[in-house]
Structure 1
Amino acid sequence: MRYFIELAYNGSAYHGWQNQPDAVSVQGTLETALFTLLQVPISVVGAGRTDAGVHATQYFAHFDAEILPDLQQLIFRLNSLLASDIVVYNLFEVHPEAHARFDAISRSYEYHIIQQKDPFFYETAHLVKNELDLDKMNLAAFSLKKHTDFKCFSKSKTDVKTYNCDIKSAIWEKQENKLVFKITADRFLRNMVRAIVGTLLEIGLGKIQVEQLEEIIKSRDRQNAGTSVPAKALFLTGIEYPKTIVEK
């Protein structure tokens, strides 16, 4: 049987989602917990990798196992076993061919900015003390939707076959004492959101003009875009799937 597991995690203590040699990952931690409870090796396939320090308020993964008779009890036992920085919200049976990564229709991220020192957000938000022009940042963010090739925002060493992404929305919002960048696309390249945010911040600081963004994107050169912002303020906030994944 194939199962989807919905979870969330604070990524501060982990070297990202994906298993890595000699490093603690969310994937490895979850697989260990499932093995402890089910007493069989479980291979968990995630919706995609998140970098070290990145958080997820909604994440999905799938795994195969024999029929699990009491899913609610398994959720309870998993949460009792896992550390407080990982929580399992849901566990449900899906179509045998359903895939947590390849069946995702869209993914959404948020990046959190604070503009003054705050002891309650210093671990999960990026501090930018200088004044930012939010109107220019939003004008530039909106223009991202006109483009599809985002090689200029991609990590240099990557094995992807295409740099094309369909950005569905991108906007900066004021939320009390934070600025939050929200972006949704069908897929994202490695380091893409952090590079976009770094570039938009340079526009907000007046170091880059809004009109230059199009030139940067067309250049397909990572060196022309802004510096990647720290991972600690990035959140994967949503993954959308077709309803057909639960149909047998």
Structure 2
Amino acid sequence: MGRFRLDIEYAGTRYSGWQKQKSGRTIQGKLIEAAEKIFKGEKVDLQGSGRTDAGVHALNQVAHLEVKTMLAPEIIKMKLNDLLPADINILEVSKAGKNFHARHDAVARSYIYQISRRRTAFGKQFVWWIKDDLDLGHMKHAGKLFEGMHDFASFADKDSEDKSTKVLVEAVQFKEAGDLILIRIAGSHFLWKMVRRMVGVLVETGRGKLNGKDVESFLNTFSREPARYTAPPSGLFLEKVIYEKNYQWDELEPVINLTPAIKFGRR
């Protein structure tokens, strides 16, 4: 058997998330379907670094593929991309150690969330358009409160795979880019719906409807309130999966650029 690392990008709009399901179109399901066509008659095992929710995108999801084959990584990449739909793309295939595990070996992960200050015809699937003015200073203050080791039970749905609701959040970063507000959340791992609920609470602080004391309360005492503020999946991207310690995060940049709205009028 050979083991390979797959680096994958995908637009999650048309999919019911990463994890293969009995019914419903998923990213893992499409990858396995393509791999089974390439490696006919061989047992195929494909596991991702973690799940993404329905509608969530990935700039660089990592998976490992285990299969008996003599094909070179570049050939595997080419054959997979020939079979995959246009909204799933294999960025790279490389040989991996026999014990490499895409999920268990990861030491950190980062997500980017994109909020748009204006309505957009072209970027709707990749942003959350918010009409209200947001106070970025309040959001940054609340973001700092998330950093460190905390119990995020208030920010997650129950999941049998999560043995603990304690998560180390390494950084919550913000950047303004034209009509976009970018938020990066980096941490050891993330619970089901945790990032979207964090973003939703940050937005409510920006609106002035929540404050830092509310965030501290959610972290110290279980509350179902953050579920009310769950951000839509459209603006969320799995940015990176990190396997080396002391990784330095890149400059925060937009996933898509919203060009300034055209000013119509007579010349």
Could you say which TM-score interval applies, normalised by the shorter chain? over 0.9
- Which residue of structure 2 lines up, in the alignment, with residue 246 of structure 1? none
- Which residue of structure 2 lines up, in the alignment, with residue 236 of structure 1? 238
Q: How does 1:52-131 map to 2 (within 5 A)?
A: 52-131=54-133
Q: Distance in 2 between matches of 1:135 and 1:50?
A: 29
- Which residue of structure 2 lines up, in the alignment, with residue 47 of structure 1? 49
Q: Would you say how many aligned residue pairs link Structure 1 and Structure 2?
A: 243
SS at match of 1:138: helix
For the Cα contact (< 8 Å) 1:113–1:178, is it kept in 2?
A: yes
Q: Which amino acid aligns with 1:22?
A: S
For the Cα contact (< 8 Å) 2:201–2:226, is it kept in 1?
A: no
Q: Distance in 1 between matches of 2:65 and 2:173?
A: 34
Q: TM-score, structure 2 length as denominator?
A: 0.87
Return the match for 1:202 from 196, 201, 204: 204
* Pairwise CA distance, 1:226: 5.1
**Structure 1, unaligned runs of 5 or more:** 244-248
* Pairwise CA distance, 1:217: 1.1
Return the match for 2:144 from 142, 145, 157: 142
Backbone CA RMSD of aligned residues: 1.6
In structure 2, relative to structure 1, the CA distance for the partners of 1:12 and 1:224 (3 Å cut) is closer
For the Cα contact (< 8 Å) 2:12–2:54, is it kept in 1?
A: yes
Q: Distance in 1 between matches of 2:26 and 2:242?
A: 23
Q: How does 1:203-222 map to 2 (within 5 A)?
A: 203-222=205-224
- Which residue of structure 1 lines up, in the alignment, with residue 11 of structure 2? 10
For the Cα contact (< 8 Å) 1:196–1:226, is it kept in 2?
A: no
Q: Which amino acid aligns with 1:231?
A: P
Q: TM-score, structure 1 length as denominator?
A: 0.93
* Pairwise CA distance, 1:147: 4.2
For the Cα contact (< 8 Å) 2:145–2:212, is it kept in 1?
A: no
**Structure 2, unaligned runs of 5 or more:** 246-267
* Pairwise CA distance, 1:173: 1.1
Per-residue CA distance 1:131-167 (angstroms, 9 max, x = gap): 0000110111012114421111111455522111111
Report runs of 4+ in structure 1 exceeding 6 Å deviation: none
* Pairwise CA distance, 1:21: 1.4
Q: Which amino acid aligns with 2:77?
A: I
Q: Distance in 1 between matches of 2:159 and 2:90?
A: 33
